[in-house]
Amino acid sequence: MLLPQPKVFITGASSGLGAAVARHYGALGAQLGLAGRRLDGLQDTAAGLDARLYQADVRDAAAMQSAAHAFLSEVGPPDIVIAAAGISVGTLTEAAEDGPTFRAVMDANVLGLVHTFQPFIGPMTINGGVLCGISSVAGVRGLPGGGAYSASKAAATVYLEALRLELKARGIHVVTVAPGYIDTPMTQVNPYAMPFRMTAATAAAKVARCIAHRRAYTVIPWQMAWAARLLKWLPIPVYDSVFEKAPRKPRGLPI
């Protein structure tokens, strides 16, 4: 059940799913802390909402510490922390120029979770709450041309599972949401069909429902959940034959 005027801290709130989640909770009267790399995007998201803005990159542990401490000082311990920031871009191991991109993706999608949650765990132990990490269906199997992204999301899912067990006895719930395709700038560059694609607002409502019900791990939408189960259990020869020549995420995108 959602508390009256809950305190919610969200990363990746400059655009995409993070912005949609912020608007969802903002419409319910939440006191928001919005973190993101682009101040103009944060300002657009926050229009008409009770929000405090923190320009910060989740890859920067010191910046996230500063943002968290400011929110704790101004608002108090959050009831919900949602780590929605992430980077999605095509990569090839053979391309030396993609080395920095691999690091950026892993830093944002895995260490970004750590940097987001760490400052809040101690303060949240008093009254409990929810830490929600956004993973992806792309972490279920390795996608050609998307090694960095698939690996990062697989790592994120396993990290969040470990964190859930670590914090269970302390009254802090850890919720993992693995979306399929969401209509955001991150996917609008994809040169291939995206089945079961959701609007950002629809995805945000589903994320909020997972948080409200304290669901440990959920793939959204339900159609993609069935597809993920099938992908997980496909024998390697079958998976390889189907996906070896699958269309790939573009490389060289801005990160």
Active site residue ranges: 149
Burial 20-54 (b: 16+ CB within 10 A, else e): bbbbbbbeeebbbbbbbbeeebbeebbeebebbbb
Cis peptide leading into 221, omega within 30 of 0?
Answer: yes
Distances (CA, A) of 58 to 65, 173, 234: 10, 21, 34
Cα–Cα dist 50/70, whole Å: 15
Determine the straight-line distance between the first and last CA of the chain, rounded to whole angstroms. Answer: 36
What residue type is assigned to position 48 of the chain?
Answer: G
